[in-house]
Structure 1
């Protein structure tokens, strides 16, 4: 279920738009790229991401109706979002990167994908690894 918005918004970015972008743009998932691809301003994309507090279950609720949930396969992807110049940013640490074949400074994103028997392959959950707590979290403090 999508969160109920408590006050009107002027942002043009929506959850379905953002998820569509993430599904269609696996390589460069940045606000700049979102704004370019979806023909919205960078400020709109940034406001959307700052305003909303989506969790893994929200991604599942968006993906589930598109999938045949009988007889499929779950797979896990752990990616490191490079943040080489970040200072004092939550969730940034040093993680092994298969892309760089070494430890890099970044954010460790763990994504759960579901592949159904009809050939659909969609993300259904995610977590950001919080090294300070030694476990994964959807948001700091949970």
Structure 2
């Protein structure tokens, strides 16, 4: 993240942009913000977004002082942010993804999130990835990378939960190797072995 050495004179800043996103949850964008604040240009908002570079570790550092880092439950999930009128050829993040909410494939941005609930019941997102087809990685690859990162940052969950999308053998072996308890959904067509050599 950019280190601020002196007070910014820019008209668009983090506090203003954060309040805007909270208030304008449906049609957020540079043009809309400049319409609301008549003395704030679209270019000023765009420069702010290009100037700042936030990473997942910045999100973790923002929340870690408000939660207990040990003893909670970490949940993996992904959601599709609809972009029905955008051209996938013009954006690296827009593609076609299965939406559990819509029960079909839709065009949008696929956001993978790790949500942590501490022993006191406080739930916060601690890591994320925007699915990028140019990475040549799957959401399962992202999951293992993201989990490794939060563990390296100092998180010590007891359990990891997720739906059947994340129940690959590689993921389950990875969780076992990390000595984490897990509750992951199993797909209907999957066979499991509770007793070695016996599958059901």
Q: 1:104 is matched with which residue: 87, 96, 106?
A: 106
2:99 matches 1:114:
no
TM-score normalised by the chain length of structure 1: 0.72
> Larger helix proportion, structure 1 or 2?
2
Structure 1: 5+ residue stretches without partners: 138-142
Measure the CA separation in 2 of the matches of 1:17 and 1:29: 14
Higher relative contact order (CA 8 A, sep 6+): 1
> Larger strand proportion, structure 1 or 2?
1
Structure 2: 5+ residue stretches without partners: 146-200
Measure the CA separation in 1 of the matches of 2:16 and 2:77: 22
2:32 matches 1:30:
no
Q: Is the 8 A contact 2:75 2:115 kept in 1?
A: yes
**Structure 1 residues 56 and 14: alpha-carbon distance in aligned structure 2, compared to 1, 3 A threshold:** same
Q: Is the 8 A contact 1:11 1:47 kept in 2?
A: no
Cα RMSD between the aligned structures?
3.3
How many angstroms does 1:3 deviate by? 2.4
Paired position in structure 2 for 1:60: 60
Measure the CA separation in 2 of the matches of 1:29 and 1:71: 38
Measure the CA separation in 1 of the matches of 2:41 and 2:28: 10
Secondary structure of 1:57 counterpart: helix
Secondary structure of 1:60 counterpart: helix
